[in-house]
Structure 1
Amino acid sequence: QSLLCHLLSSSKWESNEAETSTFISTLGYTSADYYCHLVKNMVFSLVTELRGNQFNGLNIQGRVSASRVNAVSLFCLPLITLPDVTPLLETLLLYHGGASKEILSSEFLEAVNEAFLKKKISLPETAVFSLWLRHLPSLEKATLYLLDQLVSIQLNSLEEVVCVIKDSLLPQAASHPAIFRIVNEIFKNALLKTDGTPEVMTIIQVFTQLFLQAHQNENKQHKYPLKAYFPHHHQPLVTALLRRPFELPSTHWPAHLKHISDTLKALVEDTNVSSLSDLFEIWFLVVRFGEWLDIAAEQLLKAAVEPDALLWLLAFYYCPQNENQQRTQTMVEAKAVYNHLMMLFNCTVLSVKDLEAAVHGITDTKQCCNQHLLTHLLTNFLLFSSGGHTIAQEFIYHVS
């Protein structure tokens, strides 16, 4: 109440709160009613001022000075979480005027972002996107907050990961290329710092799928071409990866995966790709579209395919560097395991020892890339083979 009383500083009642209360009571209002109406009226007045009045067809928005807008943003600081102030927050975030520099106070932008992230306020998507476009620290904080939230809380299913990421509004905001590139860089750094942990890779892949959905739903008049989001990458590979699996008949998946693998292999083996940073950029692009890698692992077991191209694709995904022929060796070992698994695929009676025999000849199963690739192949074998489900629980318990 004392905070809202401060808003009456220009009133003739300011020096005598007792007289103010008496006057309010005479009108039949409680103090709470009066201050609520006062806030609403002030918000309406400021919103009208900022949005500009139409007079003889002329918009006079430009007459509101930058210092005035800045002062209004500072005025909002203690009131940000009041629901009645939300229209003013939205108007400020969408207001640009003619100034070349940011006219809203950084304290205001940070406070609004903090309140939004902690769900203390609800804002329209357009206002949130405008906040992140005009204040880079807020966008960075929102992205890091999402990563921290996903890594720290216990999520029991992929559906929960999807809900948390979608609720953040970041995939929708990333339809603007500037936001996409910033989020992309943060994800890239997170992947480097965590040595490519599966959890972070899954987050990036889910985010990419949600981003593509949001981009597809964009109004065609305001939609950026997809190449605007990947301007420095090999466009034939980008085009191939951007095709969503549901856009193709499943019978065309093997051919499309072979095309991705052949394009990627030609690019990786190109003599111009000489630095580790170039290789990492290519690998990170592939990581984003991990949906195709999952389908590749399935197709190896479920469809009649030439395995070499798909195994190479998986080998690159799990072992992008070929230092000391590491990826080449991974490819050889993966093919040996694959051939053994295919001999067992139609067996209705299996034992854990049968699967152990499949990986027995591997020279170094302790290598991280080998472990992840073999786990991927074995998991799909348990899911899709005739007798895999009968030993799945026992095998998982055995290897864990």
Structure 2
Amino acid sequence: MAQDSLGLPSDYQFWMRKLSIWDRASTLEAQQDTCLHLPQFQEFLRQMYEALKDMDSNTIIERFPTIGQLLAKTCWNPFILAYDESQKILIWCLCCLIKKDPQNSGESKLNSWTRGLLSHILSAFRFDIKEVDLFTQVLGYAPTDYYPGLLKNMVLSLVSELRENHLNGFNTQRRKKISLPKSAVFCLWLRHLPSLESTMLHLFEKLISSERNFLRRIECFMKDSSLPEAACHPAIFRAVDEMFRYALLETDGAPEVLATIQVFTRCFVEALEEEDKQPKFTFKTYFPYASPSLVMVLLQYPKDIPQGLWHQPLKHLSEMLKEAVEDQTHGSYGSPFESWFLFVHFGGWADIAAEQLLTSEAEAEPPEALLWLLAFSCGPGAGHQQRAQTMVEVKAVLSRLTKLLRSPTLSARDLQAAAGEGRDGDPRPPACQQLIRRLLLNFLLWAPGGHTIAREVITLMAQTDAVMREIIGFLDQTLYRWDHLCVEAPRSRKLARELLTELRGQA
């Protein structure tokens, strides 16, 4: 972030205006905006300290006459002060204003005023201070109940932990865990981002360890962590969603991360639906970069729609996404990545589209809308031309698979030949190759003749450990989705379970 010629960050006036708008976080909109901008504001405070630390107090006041106003507004905002990192940096800045040897009454008054603010910061979260009452009230907690209850739970948990350690000979291999009420945990996550980050890191540890490709276990762990329930508060949802976004970018769209985002979203939506009272926030609050109508369509998962009619909502969804991604003339929401990231949350739609293309009544041509949806699901980096190429590849493979459906005899080599090569013999992009493999796996599960050759085909496909994990993940996600959609396919389910058990034993 650039700094102006006087040494303070160039966005000094921006944050002055923000602090005036936030005004002690007295409105819901101000609270949400504070939570959203808090990381950037903390970085501003840190840069401001770097600018002030080498000046004496007289120079600071002379060159920056409104610095006291900015620091005071910050000190009296409970949502900023609630975060330990903000307190620490704010104390550093205030200490820069203190004159060690005041020479006149003005300097003495400045010292006294500064010490008053420091005293306020250091005492603000005693439960007999009215500022914490404001903070806890807007979050729905009573401080007189919260703090004694928190202390009691911590003491009881520590006593229990010490007793277990004594009985187990201080076996540190077991996890020890302080148990807190959910309300206390949610309050902690709202005011202390590292604690929320720690929970997310624990989730990712589970994801890359023994829980990989076990979505039922991931769902159980997700619910036990209370993350979906806590995410009903938009500030927590946005923080969790940003962590998923970065995990997705850092892993180049790893299938395990994609699947976990979908599990989290499903659990989050269930938590919202279980609330007895009217929703406190609109979905626009949770997904600010997406079209509200698109979010509502994605939320209408086709559980109660007959399978034969699923192509209608799929077509509508495809048209809305295509308009948002490719038609930039009507002020569409966000970038193609934002549309894709939103679609990822409800990614089961792409798998349903693949099944529909293979199980619907034979048509002269596959529906373009469903082909586009599959191509779009490959990733946000593909432009219009690459999506068009992927649609051509998928259409050709589907044509060959449709012919095999009518074949009296079927062999693994036939299916391998149906996958074919890329157009003009060129290698397909990795995302397109993965999409073709998913179509072949769907064919094996749904085609009558596919069951007898499934194991042989998978052996031919799984030439690397990565592809083997991909196939295991596909089977696990498919069974998980069928369970939630109550899909009636006994033979396909039986085959999928058998294959999943066998492949997990080999992995």
Q: TM-score, normalised by structure 1?
A: 0.69
2:218 to 151, 161, 168: 161
Give the superposition deviation at 1:79. 6.9
2:403 aligns with 343
Q: Of 270, 289, 297, which aligns to 2:354?
A: 297
Q: Distance in 2 between matches of 1:328 and 1:156?
A: 31
The CA distance in 2 between the partners of 1:84 and 1:323, in whole Å, is: 55
Aligned mates of 2:283, 2:358 — CA distance in 1: 32
1:177-213 Cα shifts (integer Å, max 9, x gaps): 1110000000000000000011110111111111111
Matches of 2:279 and 2:431, distance apart in 1: 42
Query: Distance in 2 between the 1:119 and 1:172 partners?
Result: 23
Structure-1 residue corresponding to 2:385: 325
* Counterpart among 435, 454, 473 of residue 373 in structure 1: 435
Provide the TM-score with structure 2 as the length reference: 0.55
Cα 1:205–1:71 shift into 2, 3 Å: closer
Among candidates 356, 360, 373, match of residue 416 of structure 2: 356
Counterpart code for 2:227 = L
Secondary structure of the residue that 1:220 maps to in structure 2?
coil
Match of 1:255 among 312, 315, 322: 312
Shift in alpha-carbon separation, 1:119–1:351, aligned structure 2, 3 A:
farther
Retained in 1: the 8 A contact 2:421–2:428?
A: no
| 172-181 vs 122-131, which moves further | 122-131
Match of 2:256 in 1: 199
Which letter maps to 2:222?
I
Deviation at 1:156, TM superposition (A): 5.5
**Secondary structure at the residue paired with 2:310?**
helix
SS class of match (2:253): coil
| 1-structure distance, mates of 2:176, 2:391 | 48
Report if the CA contact (8 A) 2:421-2:427 is conserved.
Answer: no
Q: Give how far 1:317 is off.
A: 0.6
Identity of aligned residues (%): 49
Counterpart contact for 2:314–2:349, Cα < 8 Å: yes
Q: 1:327 to 1:319 in 2, by over 3 A?
A: farther
Are 2:151 and 1:81 aligned?
no
Taking structure 1 as reference, are residues 272 and 133 closer, same or farther at Cα in structure 2, changes over 3 Å only?
farther
1:82 to partner: Cα distance: 2.9
Q: Structure 2 stretches of 5 or more lacking a match?
A: 1-125, 129-135, 138-142, 163-174, 463-507
Question: How many matched pairs?
Answer: 307
The correspondence for 2:285, drawn from 228, 245, 249, is: 228
**Cα distance between partner residues in 1 of 2:461 and 2:161:** 57
CA distance 1:206–1:76, change in 2 (3 Å): closer
Which residue does the alignment assign to 1:26?
Answer: none
| Alignment CA distance shift 1:382-1:273 (3 Å) | farther
| Pair 1:245-2:302 in alignment | yes
- Counterpart residue type for residue 419 of structure 2: V
* Pair 154,170 (structure 1): closer, same or farther in 2 beyond 3 Å: closer
Partner of 1:56: none
The Cα shift of 1:75 comes to: 11
- Map of 2:344 onto structure 1: 287
Q: Match for residue 182 of structure 2?
A: 125
| Separation in 2, partners of 1:130, 1:366 | 49
- Residue 335 of structure 1, CA deviation: 0.6
Whether the 8 Å contact between 1:346 and 1:386 is mirrored in structure 2 is no
Q: 1:388 pairs with 447, 450, 465, which one?
A: 450
Q: Quote the Cα distance in structure 1 between the aligned partners of 2:435 and 2:161.
A: 54
Superposition CA RMSD, Å: 3.4
TM-aligned CA deviation for residue 226 of structure 1: 2.6
Asked if structure 2 preserves the Cα contact closer than 8 Å seen for 1:301 and 1:380, the reply is yes
Offset of residue 154 of structure 1: 4.3
Correspondence for 1:25? none
Q: State which of 393, 397, 400 in structure 1 corresponds to 2:459.
A: 397
| Letter of the 1:311 counterpart | L
Indicate which of 373, 385, 388 corresponds to 1:313. 373
**Any gaps of 5 or more consecutive residues in structure 1?**
1-48, 52-60, 86-117
Secondary structure of 2:335 counterpart = helix
